[in-house]
């Protein structure tokens, strides 16, 4: 007698298309789609697998009492801070993420921001809009130093591209290393303030954890060079946004570029929109053309492994809140 098909629930975004190219999963599983908390609660009954496509949603916590048969959750994102609540962390449910899918795209975006700052692109675009011919000299990127906060796959991709541009690279991580092929010297996060003053660009590429929440506040900005720029492609809550605004207004630092925020979407009345020296983008730095099928393919591969009892890719250490370096 053939074994029954496993039930896979897909938590999709309230608007927008469902995940593409899941035909291989649908052939061997029963797919249930949900968009609201009520739909999710109903769909979870008897389900063993949950694909969280709406990775910014906290709906699972509200429906957790209905997830009695759940064995594995896959997040269509690298960060799991909105998904990982205490009850899930304490459970035996396996959590995997989409680490690696967005690394190259985000690294390219970061390098683009570095070039935008060094070459004064925002001012050039503004002068063009106003028909102003304004000659300026610009900065060299070659020889500048970037400090990457976070030594995972994303941080390494950023470090490699920065090296290609002739930049010196340092990093900060949980554990210090004297030398790293992608990141140079890696300092422990407790020594962050000691190395901030050496960087021309500080790039936050770390996950949001209890250790990183609020890591960049007034004290950190005080340690940075007045000519330095901050780039955040990690999570908004890693930065004290009020302290950043004060640092920009007082010219304590030269500029910042933010792709992530404590509140998303960023409210129209937020002062960040009009702050000189600040580049705002709507949490898009990793979303390259074609990213959705790549995310689906990763889930399909992990689903194949799950059915065969094989090791899953990107298993999150729920105590840490991310996939440890060296994990499958």
Catalytic annotation on 142? no
Instruction: Examine the pLDDT at 26 and tell me if it is beyond 90.
Output: yes
> Which pLDDT belongs to residue 1?
56
pLDDT tens sequence across 89-114: 999 999 999 999 999 999 999 999 99
Ordered structural domains, the chain, with CATH:
7-101+289-308 (3.40.50.720), 103-280 (3.40.50.720)
The phi, psi pair for 123, rounded to 5°, reads -65, -40
Q: What's the residue count for the chain?
A: 328
Order across the sheet with 229-232: list the strands: 177-180, 184-188, 168-173, 145-149, 201-204, 229-232, 255-258, 278-280
Write the CA distances from 282 to 137, 225, 263, 264, integer angstroms: 30, 27, 11, 8
> Which pLDDT belongs to residue 207?
96
Quote the CA–CA distance of 287 and 277 in Å, as a whole number: 24
Instruction: Examine the pLDDT at 3 and tell me if it is beyond 80.
Output: no
Quote the CA–CA distance of 24 and 29 in Å, as a whole number: 9
pTM value is 0.95
pLDDT band, residue 62 (cuts 50/70/90): very high
Angle at 99 between CA 155 and CA 10, to 5 degrees: 150
pLDDT tens sequence across 138-180: 999 999 999 999 999 999 999 999 999 999 999 999 999 999 9
Catalytic residue, chosen from 35, 74, 156, 235, is 235
Residue 154 CB-half CA count within 13 A: 30
Question: Do residues 104 and 159 make contact, with C-beta atoms less than 8 angstroms apart?
Answer: no
> Which pLDDT belongs to residue 47?
98
Catalytic annotation on 283? yes
pLDDT tens sequence across 68-95: 999 999 999 999 999 999 999 999 999 9
In the structure encoding, which two tokens stand for residue 263, read together? 């509140």
Name residue 73's beta-bridge partners.
50, 95
Catalytic residue, chosen from 264, 301, 304, 307, is 264
Catalytic residue, chosen from 33, 163, 252, 283, is 283
Quote the CA–CA distance of 294 and 77 in Å, as a whole number: 12
Distance of CA 248 to the CA centre of its chain: 23
Write the CA distances from 51 to 10, 72, 143, 296, 304, integer angstroms: 5, 9, 44, 10, 14
Per-state percent for the chain, helix, strand, coil, to nearest 5: 35, 20, 50
Catalytic annotation on 131? no
> Which pLDDT belongs to residue 56?
86
Mean pLDDT of the chain: 96
Smallest CA-to-CA distance from 40 within 19, 67, 20 is with 67
Question: Do residues 266 and 273 make contact, with C-beta atoms less than 8 angstroms apart?
Answer: yes
The phi, psi pair for 230, rounded to 5°, reads -105, 135
> Which pLDDT belongs to residue 328?
58
């Amino acid at each position: 007698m053939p074994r029954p098909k496993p039930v896979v629930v897909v938590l999709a975004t309230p608007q927008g298309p469902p995940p593409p190219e899941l035909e291989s999963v649908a052939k061997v599983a029963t797919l249930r789609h949900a968009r609201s908390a009520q739909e999710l609660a109903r769909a979870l009954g008897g389900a063993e697998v949950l694909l969280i496509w709406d990775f910014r949603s906290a709906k699972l916590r509200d429906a957790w009492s209905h997830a009695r048969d759940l064995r594995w959750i896959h997040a269509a994102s690298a960060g799991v801070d909105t998904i990982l609540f205490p009850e899930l962390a304490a459970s035996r449910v396996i959590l995997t993420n989409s680490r690696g899918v967005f690394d190259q795209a985000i690294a390219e975006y970061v390098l683009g921001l570095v070039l935008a700052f060094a070459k004064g692109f925002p001012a050039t675009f503004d002068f063009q809009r106003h028909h102003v011919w304004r000659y300026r000299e610009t900065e060299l990127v070659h020889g500048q130093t970037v400090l990457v906060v976070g030594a995972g796959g994303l941080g390494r991709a950023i470090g490699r591209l920065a090296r290609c541009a002739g930049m010196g690279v340092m990093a900060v991580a949980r554990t210090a290393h004297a030398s790293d092929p992608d990141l140079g010297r890696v300092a422990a996060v407790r020594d962050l303030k000691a190395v901030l003053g050496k960087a021309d660009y500080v790039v936050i590429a770390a996950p949001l954890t209890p250790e990183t929440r609020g890591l960049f506040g007034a004290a950190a900005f005080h340690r940075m060079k007045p000519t330095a720029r901050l780039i955040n492609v990690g999570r908004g809550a890693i930065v004290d946004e009020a302290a950043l605004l004060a640092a920009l207004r007082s010219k304590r630092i030269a500029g910042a570029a933010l792709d992530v925020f404590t509140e998303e979407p960023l409210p129209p009345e937020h002062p960040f929109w009009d702050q000189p020296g600040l580049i705002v983008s709507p949490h898009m730095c990793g979303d390259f053309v074609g990213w959705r099928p790549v995310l689906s393919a990763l889930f399909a591969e992990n689903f194949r492994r799950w059915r065969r009892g094989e090791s899953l890719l990107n298993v999150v250490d729920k105590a840490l809140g991310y996939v440890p370096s060296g994990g499958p």
